[in-house]
């Protein structure tokens, strides 16, 4: 005789989170019958807000999409519009933009590594519980994040939703002295980041390797922020303007966010693992050595180990920020001259959690006729579901609370751009047990 | 006294804490706004001894209800003061408690909200709550000013001109 029992577990979330998501997994015995990750991404409505606006407004409007990675939105916006208008930025502006991005990576990676992801590995419900036993670790995180904030505030005019990025450059650039004042903090941050790598590498990781298609920017000389071709480990090598020829967004019934897939193939992975695996040789040798010393060599195929890769990128961001400050010479003008013209421009930059695509079509008066934005979390969404389809059957024998936690941990490995990844998930598991 | 209005002006009722700060500024009272992350809130009050934080909550109380917590005395229900900005005010307070980084005095004023979708419109039911919090903070500031004044002069006078013009010192 065969009997079936259905079990549903719901983890309620805080009433207000910046983007809400839920996960539904249906297990029939040890087989995953269904996985649905739902993420509501209101930022997509910005594409409509942008229509009819002057291009100069795009950086400030798109910065409002996300409180965690506003610089990524600003950088993709300005680079896409500059491409449409044929603007060349000065070397000083280019350097400052890299520094700006370093600030965001430091803020974002610190928040995720320490506050959101580390508690999973150490068995704490959240960073507050973790702080009771690891006070020095959390204090270090707060100080690290503050240093990232300082960079963003200096270059962006304020910490949240910065306002200084402009098409052609910045509205205001810092003095050499202002940048030099960051050096002491950044030297401390570099040391703290090195400790972070060693600390994260000492955590225990589930044995879960997948055959991902990694997609990231690749620059000929540098670890990527704002420039490069878009490449993958499966032969993709395109100009960023060709993005929409190779990637397609699909609507799925269960989510307001579109799924992205490689045209003719399937899901793909963007973010730290992809960047690291495709750009390891572009990391400074010292940073490469840091990774190798903790046993991290490309290709890293275990998504849970992304916490270590983020820590390595934290080292890189601190080292790169110091380099940028050393080499900075204020430009003669904070931004290039900009003239209206009809055109279409696309750009991809590397947000902390992966590539962020923008496209703008402009008319002769500089008005935006059309805008398209593809955020990294949208691109990773199907890949997350694919991971869970493989991972959930391994958890079938575990207590449901533990299985739930493990699934959340897997999702958090992607650092989805829902700022409170710790709380965003409502999990429903239908478990049909077949008994003889 | 450091006053911090928390929230997101673009997320309906969540903007109420920001509106409180804006109204206080109109009255000549210095008030900061905060829409950042947990860690940054702790940094924001670092060095301050007397802090008031204003935020919006969902506790099941009637919409617009005002509640006050003395964060030094009571644990803040972390399910209550939810936040659109990631780890929220309640988490910041509890983390600061663990790290011994709470200000000497931290009052939390919360207003019950109901709608948090995108948009700048705050539910009408919250307006009375906003006014109530503004008045309570004005009273608290006046009391602080008077206490300082008394300490300096040994007698009570009127508050500093331009600070809270309509509030008499009690």
* CATH code for the domain of B21: 3.40.50.1450
Residues near A409 by beta carbon (within 8 Å), at least 6 away in sequence: A117, A120, A121, A304
The pLDDT-based confidence of A318 (bands split at 50, 70, 90) is very high
The total number of structural domains in chain B stands at 1
Distance from CA of B143 to the nearest CA of A (A): 33
SS3 B115: coil
Nearest CA in chain B to A418: B86
DSSP string, B141-161: HHHHHHHHHHHHHSS--PPPT
Q: What is the token pair recorded at A302?
A: 């275990």
The pLDDT-based confidence of A422 (bands split at 50, 70, 90) is very low
ipTM: 0.76
**Element (DSSP H or E) covering residue A217:** strand A215-218
Pick from A105, A46, A95: nearest CA to A312: A105
Q: Give the C-alpha separation, A239 to A225, whole Å.
A: 15
Q: What is the token pair recorded at A33?
A: 């019958």
Q: Give the C-alpha separation, A243 to A47, whole Å.
A: 17
Nearest to A18 among B43, B85, B95 (CB): B85
Q: Give the C-alpha separation, A53 to A79, whole Å.
A: 17
Residue A350, pLDDT > 50, answer yes
Q: Say whether A138 and B95 touch across the interface (CB within 8 A).
A: yes
Distance from CA of B5 to the nearest CA of A (A): 15
**Given CA atoms A121, A123, A127, A132 in this order, what sign does their dihedral have?**
negative
Q: What is the pLDDT of residues A231-256, one digit of tens each?
A: 999 999 999 999 999 999 888 877 76
Q: What is the pLDDT of residues A159-214, one digit of tens each?
A: 778 999 999 999 999 999 999 999 999 999 999 999 999 999 999 999 999 999 99
For residue A73, CA distances in Å to A66, A324, A356, B82, B90 come to 8, 21, 7, 26, 29
pLDDT for the residue numbered A7: 37
Q: What is the pLDDT of residues A175-188, one digit of tens each?
A: 999 999 999 999 99
A409 or A218, greater pLDDT: A218
C-beta of residue A313 within 8 angstroms of C-beta of residue A276? yes
Q: Say whether B118 and A42 touch across the interface (CB within 8 A).
A: yes
The pLDDT-based confidence of B166 (bands split at 50, 70, 90) is very low
Give strand pairing partners of A346.
A359
Nearest to A135 among B91, B99, B116 (CB): B99
Nearest to B87 among A42, A135, A422 (CB): A422
The one-character DSSP state at A329 is: -
- Rounded average pLDDT over B52-57: 92
Residue A433, pLDDT > 80, answer no
The one-character DSSP state at A352 is: T
Nearest CA in chain A to B97: A128
Q: Is the pTM of this model over 0.80?
A: yes
Residue B63, pLDDT > 50, answer yes
Say what percent of chain A tops pLDDT 90.
68
A185-191, long-range: CB < 8 A, 24+ apart: A185/A147, A185/A150, A186/A147, A186/A318, A186/A321, A186/A322, A186/A325, A187/A322, A188/A143, A188/A147, A189/A106, A189/A143, A189/A144, A189/A147, A189/A318, A190/A315, A190/A318, A190/A319, A190/A322
Q: Does A244 touch chain B (CB under 8 A)?
A: no
pLDDT for the residue numbered A259: 84
The reply to whether B158 falls in a domain is no
Q: Say whether A127 and B95 touch across the interface (CB within 8 A).
A: yes
Q: Does B40 touch chain A (CB under 8 A)?
A: yes
* Strand A169-170 with A215-218, pairing: unpaired
Report phi then psi at A306, rounded to 5: -60, -25
Substitution target in A12, A15, A163 with the highest count of B β-carbons within 10 Å is A15
Distance from CA of B118 to the nearest CA of A (A): 8
Mean pLDDT of all residues belonging to chain A? 88
Residues of chain A with Cβ-Cβ distance to B36 below 8 Å are 67, 159-160
pLDDT for the residue numbered A16: 20
pLDDT for the residue numbered A5: 43
The reply to whether B136 falls in a domain is yes
Nearest to B58 among A15, A145, A160 (CB): A15
**Radius of gyration in angstroms for the set of CA atoms belonging to chain B, rounded to a whole number:** 16
pLDDT for the residue numbered B35: 77
Q: What is the pLDDT of residues B1-39, one digit of tens each?
A: 999 999 888 788 989 999 999 999 999 999 998 876 767
The one-character DSSP state at A44 is: G
Q: What is the token pair recorded at B84?
A: 């659109």
Q: Which residue has 């059957």 as its token pair?
A: A393
The reply to whether B160 falls in a domain is no
Q: Say whether A419 and B85 touch across the interface (CB within 8 A).
A: yes
Show the domain range for B16: 2-153
Residue A258, pLDDT > 50, answer yes
* Strand B2-6 with B32-34, pairing: parallel
Q: Does B87 touch chain A (CB under 8 A)?
A: yes
Q: Say whether A14 and B94 touch across the interface (CB within 8 A).
A: no
Domain residue extents for chain A: 3-41+395-435, 46-381
The reply to whether B110 falls in a domain is yes
* Strand B66-70 with A31-39, pairing: unpaired
Q: Say whether B86 and A126 touch across the interface (CB within 8 A).
A: no
Distance from CA of B163 to the nearest CA of A (A): 27
Q: How many CB pairs under 8 A join A and B?
A: 84
Q: Is the peptide bond before A87 cis (omega within 30 degrees of 0)?
A: no
Which range has highest mean pLDDT (A308-317, A421-430, B57-66)? Answer: A308-317
Residue B156, pLDDT > 90, answer no
C-beta of residue A371 within 8 angstroms of C-beta of residue A344? no
Substitution target in A11, A14, A103, A162 with the highest count of B β-carbons within 10 Å is A14
Q: What is the pLDDT of residues A266-286, one digit of tens each?
A: 999 999 999 999 999 999 999
**In terms of CATH architecture, what is A46-381?**
Orthogonal Bundle (1.10)
């Amino acid at each position: 005789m065969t009997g079936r029992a259905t079990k549903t577990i719901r983890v309620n979330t805080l009433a207000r989170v910046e983007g809400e998501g839920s996960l539904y997994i249906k297990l029939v015995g040890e087989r995953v019958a269904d996985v649905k990750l739902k993420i509501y991404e209101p930022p997509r409505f910005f594409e409509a807000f942008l229509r009819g606006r002057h291009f100069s407004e795009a950086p400030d409007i798109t910065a409002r999409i996300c409180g965690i990675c506003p610089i990524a939105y600003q950088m993709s916006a300005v680079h896409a519009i500059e491409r449409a208008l044929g603007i060349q930025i000065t070397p000083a502006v280019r350097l400052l933009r890299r520094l700006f991005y370093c600030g965001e990576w430091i803020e974002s990676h610190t928040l995720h590594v320490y506050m959101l992801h580390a508690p999973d590995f150490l068995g704490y419900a959240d960073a507050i519980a973790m702080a009771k036993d690891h006070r020095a670790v959390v204090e270090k995180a707060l100080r690290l994040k503050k240093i990232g904030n300082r960079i963003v505030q200096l270059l962006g005019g304020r910490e949240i939703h910065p306002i200084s990025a402009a098409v052609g450059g910045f509205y205001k650039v810092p003095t050499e002295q202002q940048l030099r004042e960051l050096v002491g903090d950044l030297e401390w941050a570099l040391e703290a980041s090195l400790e972070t790598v060693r600390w994260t590498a000492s955590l225990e990781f589930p044995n879960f390797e997948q055959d991902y298609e990694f997609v990231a920017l690749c620059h000929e000389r540098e670890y990527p922020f704002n420039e490069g071709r878009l490449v993958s480990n499966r032969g993709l090598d395109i100009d960023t303007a060709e993005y929409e020829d190779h990637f397609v967004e699909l609507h799925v019934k269960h989510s307001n966010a579109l799924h992205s897939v490689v045209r003719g193939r399937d899901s793909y992975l963007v973010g730290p693992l992809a960047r690291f695996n495709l750009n390891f040789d572009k990391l400074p040798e010292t940073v490469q050595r840091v990774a190798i010393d903790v046993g991290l060599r490309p290709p890293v195929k275990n998504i849970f180990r992304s916490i270590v890769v983020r820590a390595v990128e934290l080292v890189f961001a601190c080292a790169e920020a110091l380099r940028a400050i050393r080499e900075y010479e204020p430009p003669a003008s904070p931004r290039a001259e900009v003239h209206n013209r009809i055109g279409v421009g696309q750009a991809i930059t590397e947000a902390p959690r992966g590539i962020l695509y923008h496209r703008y079509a402009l008319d002769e008066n500089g008005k935006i006729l059309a805008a398209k934005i593809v955020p990294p979390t949208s691109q990773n969404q199907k890949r997350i579901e694919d991971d869970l389809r493989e991972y959930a059957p391994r958890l079938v024998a575990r207590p449901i609370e533990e299985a739930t936690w493990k699934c959340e941990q897997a999702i958090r490995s992607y650092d989805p751009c829902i700022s409170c990844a710790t709380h965003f998930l409502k999990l429903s598991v239908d478990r049909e047990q077949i008994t003889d | 006294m450091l006053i911090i209005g928390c929230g997101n002006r673009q997320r309906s009722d969540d903007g109420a804490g920001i509106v409180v700060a804006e109204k206080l500024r109109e009255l000549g009272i210095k008030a900061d706004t905060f829409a950042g992350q947990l860690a940054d809130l702790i940094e924001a009050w670092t060095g301050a001894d007397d802090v008031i934080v204003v935020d919006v909550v969902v506790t099941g109380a009637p919409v617009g209800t005002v509640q006050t917590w003395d964060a030094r005395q009571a644990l803040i229900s972390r399910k209550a003061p939810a936040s659109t900005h990631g780890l929220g005010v309640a988490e910041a307070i509890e983390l600061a408690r663990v790290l011994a980084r709470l200000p000497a005095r931290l009052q939390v004023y919360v207003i019950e909200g109901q709608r948090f979708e995108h948009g700048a419109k705050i539910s009408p039911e919250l307006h009375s709550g906003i006014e109530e919090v503004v008045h309570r903070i004005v009273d608290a500031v006046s009391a602080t000013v008077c206490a300082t004044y008394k300490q300096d002069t040994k007698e009570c006078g009127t508050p500093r001109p331009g600070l809270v013009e309509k509030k008499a010192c009690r």
